[in-house]
Structure 1
């Protein structure tokens, strides 16, 4: 009887766990949730895991609690250096104004940041935007007082008077603007530099390529819905961001989601347009101690899943 039970147990199918995808509050990644809402994304195959800050989602990817993650380019470079074998399977968006440095009304120019308290999420692409803004004003990080704070604490820090300026991203930019803050510098001054990516562990990509393809297919279906039915799309997406459909529509105007064809070019070394920004960002990170040694950004790029999508499109 015991041997029969063992035989039955051995023959029973093992239930596959869904691919766990970490996200943070950012309008650029909302098409993933739109895809789920529209039924394009199978919750049994792909599980979206929501985090309140970039630091949290980065931590859980490193700890193996999630299999894929929506991250910025700098975080992908850090993951590569630390041996986590990340693979970029999708360029989700470019920020053209959705990331910004905002300050109190009395701080009228970048030069007036000298000696001021500036909140920024540590080890994030916001430090790059801050560095470029300071350089434009002839300032260095030592000329300001940097307050490392997670993005979900930026609004409170500003409202409570703890900081004079904040480097953050939507929807927090709009919330700070509503509290009287004004922009001194934003990502529109850095065209093509601030990019958000979908990164998958190499072992997960090898073991579950069909799930990755399913997620990418759902992404592009959601983008098509956004383009063809924008009012319906922003109405569906805005509640999670705690904003109105009109406000979300304005935020999305500050982003650009590359098409399938553009993604194919972006993820195809050695001619990828992504490599120039990656090397410039790497130089900045090495200079600031955010990377210990140079990495090979071209090894991050993995176009295989997109190539299959093109075949079945």
Structure 2
């Protein structure tokens, strides 16, 4: 009896999940403001991080049960990989216009950036966005002068004219373009982007908490269902929670392909799609003249978990 009681107590504990302020992740907060968590018999504690690399490290070292992150961030080399294998639970979204490159006049296109200074923080998702843009436009990483800057500093530099372009995301992408009288010369809507947001855990923890992760995945699908059927309801609740305009949040989300049933089955329901994405990111990194390093590619994922969870999920009434 005591063993069963301990097991039930463990199940009642919240899952500790890392998160930042990205709108694609923030929609999970709808579950906290509705009855979704209670109905799915799961509790959740969201731990805020200012950047995803810190959140990913915290997950790997055992401080979190799981974290929102990107495929790129999960592939960054870490000393924890000697004893911990990261595992992808499900796909949250894929960037389709939310991320891009803004440039000062007279730059009008990627081709105009040859020999120009571009602000990008090495090792972050912005590096991948720049590599995607370069590849799409048949340029070389050596054609540009890469300036290693964190996002806020890069915005200051482009505003002051110290750099010619920078990689950033919405809504700041549009705000900066307007402020400097510049142009958005690339967005992830121009390619099948590898900027893939996901939620990840440690493989060793997956077996132990698989049922709870499944319930949380169902909560995620419930939220996507609300997004598809009643987006005004979703963004109204989020706007009140986050003290933001519902309209602005909805606009920011428009640049994302949601991690719905179709996308998760397509990418994680068979081993080929996610393996292909990992391979393509590795190939892009191999073209990087700046900050070139060997990425970690031994990521875990479970097609059976995805497919069976999707098969068992039914929308809540």
TM-score under structure 1 length normalisation:
0.82
* Structure-2 separation of matches of 1:47 and 1:117: 41
Question: Offset of 1:185 from its aligned partner?
Answer: 0.8
- Within-5 A mapping of 1:115-134: 115-134=115-134
Alpha carbons of structure 1 residues 123 and 302: separation in structure 2 relative to 1, 3 Å:
farther
Cα-to-partner distance string for 1:32-75 (whole Å, 9 max, x where unaligned): 11222223236973211122223332332343322212222222
- Within-5 A mapping of 1:207-286: 207-238=208-239, 243-270=244-271, 272-286=272-286
Q: Which residue of the partner structure matches residue 297 of structure 2?
A: 295
Q: Which runs of 5+ in 2 are unaligned?
A: none
Question: Offset of 1:102 from its aligned partner?
Answer: 0.8
| Residue 36, structure 1, aligned to residue 32, structure 2 | yes
Question: Offset of 1:199 from its aligned partner?
Answer: 0.9
Aligned pairs, how many? 303
Q: Which residue of the partner structure matches residue 111 of structure 2?
A: 111
* Structure-1 separation of matches of 2:242 and 2:33: 15
Q: Which residue of the partner structure matches residue 171 of structure 2?
A: 171
Question: Offset of 1:162 from its aligned partner?
Answer: 4.4
Match of 2:51 among 53, 59, 64: 53
Q: Which residue of the partner structure matches residue 184 of structure 1?
A: 185
| Residue 202, structure 1, aligned to residue 198, structure 2 | no
Question: Offset of 1:217 from its aligned partner?
Answer: 1.3
* Structure-1 separation of matches of 2:224 and 2:63: 28
Q: Which residue of the partner structure matches residue 23 of structure 2?
A: 27
* Structure-2 separation of matches of 1:149 and 1:236: 35
Question: Offset of 1:278 from its aligned partner?
Answer: 2.3
Question: Offset of 1:101 from its aligned partner?
Answer: 0.8
Alpha carbons of structure 1 residues 233 and 177: separation in structure 2 relative to 1, 3 Å:
farther
Q: CA RMSD in A?
A: 3.3
* Structure-1 separation of matches of 2:75 and 2:100: 22
Contact 2:118 2:164 in 1 (8 A): yes
TM-score under structure 2 length normalisation:
0.81
Query: Relative to structure 2, which stretch is displaced further, 106-115 or 42-51?
Result: 42-51
